[in-house]
Amino acid sequence: MADPSAAAERFSVRRLFEDPTLAGATPSQATVAPGGRHVAFLRPADENRERLSLWRYDLRAGRLEPLIVAPSDNVEPSAAERAERERWRRFGGGVTAYAWHPDGQRLLATIDGAAWLCNAETGAMSALMQRGETPLGITLSRTGRFVSFTRDGELHVCNVATGEARRLTDDAGDTVTNGLPEFIAQEEMHRFTGHWWAKDDRRLAFTRVDTAPIPVSQRFEAHGDRLDVVQQRYPHAGGANADVRLFVLDMDADGAVGQRRELDWREGGFDYLARVAFAPSGALIAQVQSRDQRRFAVKRWAPTGAGWTTLFEETQDAWVNLHDNLKFTGDGDAFVWTSERDGHADLYLHDGEDGALQRWPSGLDGVRRVLWADAEAALVAGWLDDPTAQHLYRVSRGGVPSEALTAGDAWHDGAVDAAGTVCVVTTTAPHVPSRLEAIDLAGEQRARIHDGAVAPGHPYHPFLSRHIPATFGAIAAEDGQRLHYRLTPPVGADAGGKHPVIVHVYGGPGVQRVRREWGPLVTQLFAQRGYGVFELDNRGGAGRAKRFEAPLRGRLGDVEVRDQLAGVAFLRGLPWVDGGRIGVFGHSYGGYMALLCMAKAPAAFAAGVSIAPVTDWALYDTHYVERYLGMPQENPEGYRQSAVFPWLDGLRGPLLLMHGMADDNVLFDHSTRLMQALQERGALFELMTYPGAKHALHERHVAIHRHETILDFFARRL
């Protein structure tokens, strides 16, 4: 544990969000070029963390250098770009996305909303479209001959060689867009693409989205100088979704459109188009879901066939999880897949035609991501024994044990080139913010590209001697399953006395917070000011066996709260914890959990902070809520019991409520209804709202003010 008397700085809230970022220039979106010579990644500028530049590492020469340095000035994105970044949870400017050209020598880069082609050897740049044209969904075709994008709701294609652009669709309108995913596809299915190229660029599939079936609702966005009334078609639980149609265009070598065909992917009673991809053979593979998400199918459409063929179906009593683990293994339609049909995610192989799924045992407790595969081997990210650590494995067929490519008390992820020759590995660990290395998979030679160790010169080094390391452990849930936690003690915990603890909670499905990684430095803000910080992954969270997730089905905010209370009981058994001064703090689902923890267990929590909370699941979107609660018409009591309002009479302790006043995800309505309900009960609470801020509350001035306000609240109340 750090010595509280050590001669070192204690960083302030303002310093946490100033430049350079205390985590260091952490690489993101690392990829390997076709051919395996270069690795590219994005990195924030030292002088402005919100400006991302593109870096390149030459594996032959061992040379690292910036390839595209973004201008230092922040560029205000359009409203459409802001919405797209909000869905991606990517808020930086500069180089916001990039893709390698198939020749491995060029890259397509999106820089502040404009598309550029960059030579990876020389850094020479050529503009394909200018800023102000507001292209969205910018995509490089599979051969690299074309760039496709949506502008003004219409799908376009640009010839890379000539720069000539042409429009491919002509029916966009107030409710119709072509080539872009609908809101719930982005927000909940994590499908961020609305059009897909065939391998030879001779076909282009795209979605036509019409939101007309969704009733118009008014959303008020309060800014500092104005009030905007947004006419929004938000798909509330139990209501209508957008009409999503799928088309395939035949293209010639110049990008001209030939035949246009509509493919009815709904055949068989499916409601959601979850994933689309062209197989190397030219067949189209679609993944579709039923409305209740308990039934899922993978379908194949061949250009010369008679329609869709269902390759296989998945069913679950709870729900079928979506993933991006379909990886084609060769030049045909065969692919590797992960399924939870046996209770945990493992590998399977399908021939892409008329065969059944064949089990491909990995020997792991869970396969989270398939990075690359052929018919004989796969490279995966997963876990064995401890779900809080993630490693990369080579999994061979034929009963050969999985081979670990990484080791240590850490969290690893990676990306592999198309040939499976080079893997770029990103690493974070409790003692290291970031590391990036490349592995030659044939000889397993390793090249260190970025070492983010907190050494002299690192932005966090002046504060390192006061850094308080976390401890990891697990407690038992009431059904015997292990609940993993991360506990950061406060300064002085080993010197005796009793200290307050803040339970930092998320608690929602689809997320795992407790990882063997460099923890969020917000935790250090609290710990260095005398608070312990406790984080527990309750049942319902992601990254474990299906049995761990399924208890949420039919009702939210029940087992999650009970598991958090088991964590409080554990805390009260620690000698340094003051059991009468335990607070709770969370954002989004965590804000919802903070409210329920305080209302359902007023004796357990002395104070709480709830940020952008869901308060009534009937106000949230179809795909997310119905996955867990079903349709409100079929489960009205489950919806009622899952809302916060039936439990508010139990809320006793001091509450700080915070919300962005332009939130388009968890709408501000959630908090206004909560305010009214608390006022009707005569319950006192504190309130802080942020004009113009959306759900992530990511703006720097908002982040600084928000955390200063939280610290002030807990200082007064805890």
**Residues taking part in catalysis:** 588, 663, 695
Contacts of 270 (CB under 8 A, 6+ apart): 288, 289, 290, 295, 297
**What token pair was written down for 94?**
């500069």
| Residues 111 and 126 sit within 8 Å (Cβ to Cβ) | no
| Residues 528 and 542 sit within 8 Å (Cβ to Cβ) | no
CA distances from 27 to 48, 52, 101, 434 (A): 15, 10, 21, 8
CA distances from 348 to 284, 378, 609 (A): 20, 11, 44
First to last CA, the chain: 23
DSSP-assigned letters across all residues of 313-371: EEE-SS-PPP-S--EE-SSSS-EEEEE-TTSS-EEEEE-SSS---EEE---SSEEEEEE
Strand partners for 533: 488, 502
CB atoms within 10 A of CB 162: 9
Strand partners for 363: none
CA distances from 528 to 146, 389, 499, 609 (A): 53, 26, 12, 19
CA 155, CA 208: separation in Å to the nearest integer? 10
Q: Residue 337: is it exposed, middle or buried by C-beta count within 10 angstroms (0-12/13-18/19+)? A: buried
| Long-range own/partner contacts, residues 459-462 (CB < 8 A, 24 or more apart) | 459/20, 459/21, 459/22, 459/23, 459/24, 460/22, 460/23, 460/24, 460/433, 460/521, 462/8, 462/9
Contacts of 272 (CB under 8 A, 6+ apart): 189, 241, 288, 289, 290, 291, 293, 623
